[in-house]
Amino acid sequence: MGTLIGQELFKLVHKVGTWIAVGVMVVIQFAFIAGGLIYPKVFNQAGMITSDFVADSIIVFIMIASTASIIAMEFQYGTIRQLLYRQYYRSQVFISKLITLVIQLVCLHLIASLVTMVASLVAFPDFDWTAGDHLKNYALTQGGETLTLLLLLSAVLLLATLFKTNAAAIAVGFVGYFLVEIAGTILISLIQKWEWLKWLPFTMLMTSSQILTPGLKSMTKLDLPWMIGLTCAYTVLLTVISYLSFRRRAV
């Protein structure tokens, strides 16, 4: 298992796209930092810092692309045969890819947080992390965003096991993300009419919002502990289904 994880990390680190994605994320962060300095009345300082200067949104796109391609590429180029012929079980291959994705997600958040911390000290010295609920809101935002992102990525992972090409898997992942965003807004209205719809996975994608705004309970009709628990449960369920799909797929 350790060898497989090492191989996955090696491929990730030596992929040009990995560093381009990180570079784009950091450049966008600096662009919003500059915007905050030049137009302080337009850019909300606390809001930008809490969202890592929009890095949270960039991480979503990076991770969708990585999750969609990490399995689809193996089948597209036939490299999955080499792994299986070396007497690795499919479960080992699958788990090694999951661990690699989690490591990538953690690293991206660490880089984004580092840029945010440095920017808050250098570019915005007046920002006090200890004042009010700044530190608490930052932690809740990052935790909530990560929780819902894992749920989204488990769905993307399932899609990746169904498509034959890397490009198709990534395209469907992005389209699915935007459709989910639209569906979330529509679902809020539908829940008011048919409350049983609150149990659908789409509702759990609003967990991060409800963590920061408890008043959303009136729209989701679910207590926060239920939403967090169901988010974790759906993530595990979709991941298990992804593995079953991966295991049954012909090489």
Domain range list for the chain: 2-248
Q: In the chain, how many H helices and how many E strands?
A: 12, 0
pLDDT tops 90 at residue 213: no
Q: What is the mean pLDDT of the chain?
A: 84
Question: Each residue of 86-100: pLDDT tens digit?
Answer: 666 778 888 989 999
- CA gap 66, 12 in Å, rounded: 9
Helix axes 55-76, 16-38, angle to 10 degrees: 170
- CA gap 245, 164 in Å, rounded: 13
Contact call for residues 71 and 97 (beta carbons, < 8 A): yes
How far CA 244 is from CA of 53, 67, 72, 126, in Å, comes to: 38, 17, 15, 52
How far CA 189 is from CA of 151, 199, 222, 227, in Å, comes to: 22, 14, 14, 18
CA-CA-CA-CA torsion for 63, 66, 69, 73, nearest 10 degrees? -170
Residue 46's pLDDT is what? Answer: 76
pLDDT band of residue 81 (cuts 50, 70, 90) is low
Contact call for residues 241 and 158 (beta carbons, < 8 A): yes
CB atoms within 10 A of CB 167: 12
3-state secondary structure of 30: helix
N residues, the chain: 251
Question: What is the share, in percent, of the chain residues with pLDDT greater than 70?
Answer: 91
- CA gap 20, 12 in Å, rounded: 12
Helix axes 134-160, 166-193, angle to 10 degrees: 120
How far CA 69 is from CA of 104, 106, 170, in Å, comes to: 14, 18, 7
Residue 231's pLDDT is what? Answer: 93
